Structure 1
Amino acid sequence: MAGKRLIKSTSGRKPKPLKTHVNNGNPSKKALNTEEPKFTQVNNIECPEWLGEFAKGMWETIVPEICRVTVLCVTDIHNIESFCTSYENFRRAQIDIMENGVVIENMQGNTVKNPAATVLTESQRQMVMLGSLLGLDPSSRTRLIGVAEKEKDNPFSQM
């Protein structure tokens, strides 16, 4: 394909979005990427029917919040589905560990690590990674650009 590359390959820190540079006044004076793609924003989206019980609960908890701050785009929906599915796996693995223990007896009669412990750990890693992409942890929220809520007028500020 001749012409522009769609994705710039770089190492190191992820670049800040254009809105972040503009809002901060571009203190580094670097050339800004004015060709940043603009994807369709999502203001409300129904929970997929195929999600499990725990995943649906998580969806209903986080999606209204993410939509409220206007940072959710159509291109992010798979990340939310994956986050909620990882949460489902995390909860189900935790239940299995609580019921059967961290170690179990296999078919040969040997004591082995409960496979649910591996599922639990992998699900936690996925939740951390996906949650960071979605701005669900304190440090990643600082990188999000959304619509800030207006401060309520102080009736005493005019005095």
Structure 2
Amino acid sequence: MAGRKPKPTSLKMLEGNPGKRQLNPNEPKPDASVPKCPAWLSKEAKREWKRLVPFLEQAGLLTQVDRAAFAGYCQSYADWVDAKAHIAEEGSTFETPNGYQQQTPWVSIAQASLKTMLKFCTEFGLTPSSRSRIVAANAPESEADDMEMLLGGDG
């Protein structure tokens, strides 16, 4: 299918439906409970899972059927962290037996993991640009809104 991939209705609703198009009333509604962290994730991936689940749960962006996609994000994050640790310890290049400098495989692993991780990030509203389009219903009021209320503005 050509063109942009459609956004989930829940994400459109959080963004305030900026296109004002009719929302899909027949979109499947999976179990909204938070999925259990998969046991097979690495230690670092499990830490990332635990760190982000509260945010995604509050925003209503993580359901039972999203488990594999979110696990993919968490494991990609862990792989990226691991590759960056290897690069920090060993450097990004090494000398071949012939005396040439060559990039270590860890650089490619880090780049591929980051690319995969960032694709998942946009799906869950985890980048500044994707998050800026979300209007959370229970977001705290800003100080500017409080000041407008005090001055008698519309707020």
Compute the TM-score of the two structures, normalised by the length of structure 2.
0.74
Shift of 1:56: 1.4
Residue of structure 2 equivalent to 1:74 = 64
Residue of structure 2 equivalent to 1:6 = none
Equivalence map 1:1-159=2 (5 Å): 10-18=1-9, 20=12, 23-24=16-17, 27=20, 32-42=23-33, 44-106=34-96, 110-144=100-134, 148-149=137-138
5+ residue gaps, structure 2: 151-155
Residues 33-64 of structure 1, C-alpha deviations (whole Å, 9 max, x = no match): 3222111112x443222221211111111012
SS for the counterpart of 1:34 is: coil
CA contact (8 A) 1:105 1:111 kept: yes
Query: In structure 1, how many angstroms separate the alpha carbons of the residues matched to 2:36 and 2:129?
Result: 28
Higher helix share: 2
Shift of 1:94: 0.5
**Aligned residue-pair number:** 143
Residue of structure 1 equivalent to 2:153 = none
Output the amino acid matched with 1:11.
A
Aligned-residue sequence identity (percent) comes to 30
**Could you say what the CA RMSD is over the residues aligned between the two structures, in angstroms?**
3.1
Per the alignment, do residues 79 and 99 of structure 1 end up closer, same or farther by CA in structure 2, a change over 3 Å counting?
A: same
Shift of 1:104: 1.5
Query: In structure 1, how many angstroms separate the alpha carbons of the residues matched to 2:90 and 2:19?
Result: 55
5+ residue gaps, structure 1: 1-9
Residues 125-152 of structure 1, C-alpha deviations (whole Å, 9 max, x = no match): 011100101111122225557x621658
SS for the counterpart of 1:67 is: helix
CA contact (8 A) 1:79 1:134 kept: no
Query: In structure 2, how many angstroms separate the alpha carbons of the residues matched to 1:150 and 1:131?
Result: 20
CA contact (8 A) 1:96 1:116 kept: yes
Query: In structure 2, how many angstroms separate the alpha carbons of the residues matched to 1:25 and 1:60?
Result: 31
